[in-house]
Amino acid sequence: SQTIHQWPATLVQPVGSPLSLECTVEGTSNPNLYWYRQAAGRGLQLLFYSVGIGQISSEVPQNLSASRPQDRQFILSSKKLLLSDSGFYLCAWSPVGPGDGYTFGSGTRLTVV
Amino acid sequence: GENVEQHPSTLSVQEGDSAVIKCTYSDSASNYFPWYKQELGKGPQLIIDIRSNVGEKKDQRIAVTLNKTAKHFSLHITETQPEDSAVYFCAASPPGTYKYIFGTGTRLKVLA
């Protein structure tokens, strides 16, 4: 069966520090991968998605970047965090092909102080 | 592009009553409509979905209905229990895209 791993679960970082969140998927090949952010009490904002190694689509221009160095690995990064980067970050995957179900990871709670 | 509206934003029901959450979408070509349940501090989990060639789907106490003409779909939870308390998100998937458009979420509280 397929599983998605996301870490760390919680993170407290000072303003101006770098960020690296990692997501890996097991049990499938060539998944579509997604990064979402959820502000406190708010909806799901798509940040990036990837349909293959090295292929990254950005939905919202901001202080973040994403990379997909391996087929089942998706990384969210920032060189310098802002207070506004605080939130709940969710990785998700779906099978190849549009319109198929997402499976979300357990999320990372990022607090920038 | 696709736009999904979800109502209500909060919903309180007594245990044992039914709960209904409604979503409308704008792109008539959207063909897949999942519903997610998010418990506090966790990632959303798929609870039920429906494709555009089906009008209704049921799974125990949960059902989803789709009206393609009116471009709206609804989640129905019967015999609600305290563990149904969570935030529920609807979504629509336009054809030929790799992403969902999510509604803004409904916070459901089931009062014991």
φ and ψ of A9, to 5 deg: -75, -40
Task: Assign A93 a pLDDT band (cuts: 50, 70, 90).
Answer: very high
The confidence score (pLDDT) of residue A100 equals: 66
Q: Which two tokens stand for residue A80?
A: 């310098």
Q: Which residues contact B86 (CB under 8 A, 6 or more apart)?
A: B37, B38, B39, B40, B107, B108
Which residue from B85, B79, B95 is spatially nearest to B25, judged by alpha carbons? B95
Listed as ranges, residues in chain B with pLDDT below 50 are: none
Residue of A nearest to B4 (CA): A43
Tell if the CB–CB gap between A99 and B97 is shorter than 8 Å: yes
Distance CA B89, CA B21 (A): 9
Give, as one character, the DSSP assignment of residue B93: B
The predicted structure's pLDDT at residue B98: 78
Nearest to B107 by CA among B47, B37, B18, B48: B37
DSSP-derived secondary structure letter, A83: G
Q: B31 to chain A, minimum CA–CA distance in Å?
A: 7
Per-residue model confidence (pLDDT) at position B109: 98
Confidence of residue A98 (pLDDT cuts 50, 70, 90): low
- Which one of A43, A100, A109 has the shortest CB-CB distance to B102? A43
